[in-house]
Amino acid sequence: MRGSLILLPFLAACYTHAPIGPNALRAGTSIRARVNAATAEQIEPLLGLNNARLLSGVVITTSPDTLIVEVPTTVRAEIGSSVQTLKQRVAIPRASIFELETRKIDRLRTGLVVGSASLLAGALIFRAVHGGPGDDRPPGGGEPPEFRFSFLRIRM
């Protein structure tokens, strides 16, 4: 458990954001968009956010003047203290977008994380199999125990 908590920052680092042109957008693309203050003020009540200047979501459709983006939102349940994640579709005018980025996998970081996790798992398995309390040799340099198998001979 403790080892997995140490790896959490590295797992988040497996992705990077790269700029993307508005004409390169396709449905299903995961994006991050920076919008102007007026658009952010219109979107904030829909999403229940205090600051909607930076939106992350998935492109649903594109048109020459508008993007329809599905953005995750959280809603507090009326009973208890549970929180539910929902998705809200919002229309973003292209003129109000300052910057568009898409999320891409960083192959180098991902390889380093997978390699490190594999080495750690291998070391833990090796330690569990070959080392542990009670597996030591007795003091005084005793010989390792012998294993003898006896066979029964049946005479007829």
66 Cα distance to chain centroid: 30
Does the residue 151 lie in any domain?
Answer: no
Look at residue 66 and tell me if it is in a domain.
Answer: yes
Task: Assign 100 to helix, strand or coil.
Answer: strand
Tokens found for residue 50: 């205090």
Q: Are 45 and 114 in contact (CB under 8 A)?
A: no
pTM for this structure?
0.58
Tell me whether residue 7 is in a domain.
Answer: yes
**Looking at the domain assignment, is residue 62 inside a domain?**
yes
What's the domain count of the chain?
A: 1
Strands 83-93 and 15-19 come out as unpaired
Residue 51 lies inside a defined structural domain of this protein: yes
Task: Please list the pLDDT of the chain residue by residue as tens digits (156 residues).
Answer: 455 555 555 555 577 788 888 778 889 989 999 999 999 999 988 888 888 899 999 999 998 899 999 998 877 767 767 777 789 999 999 999 999 999 777 788 778 878 888 888 888 888 777 765 555 555 655 566 665 555 555 555
Task: With respect to residue 6, please indicate whether it lies within any of the assigned structural domains.
Answer: yes
Range of the domain at 82: 2-105
**141 within domain boundaries:** no
Asked if residue 116 is part of any domain, the answer here is no
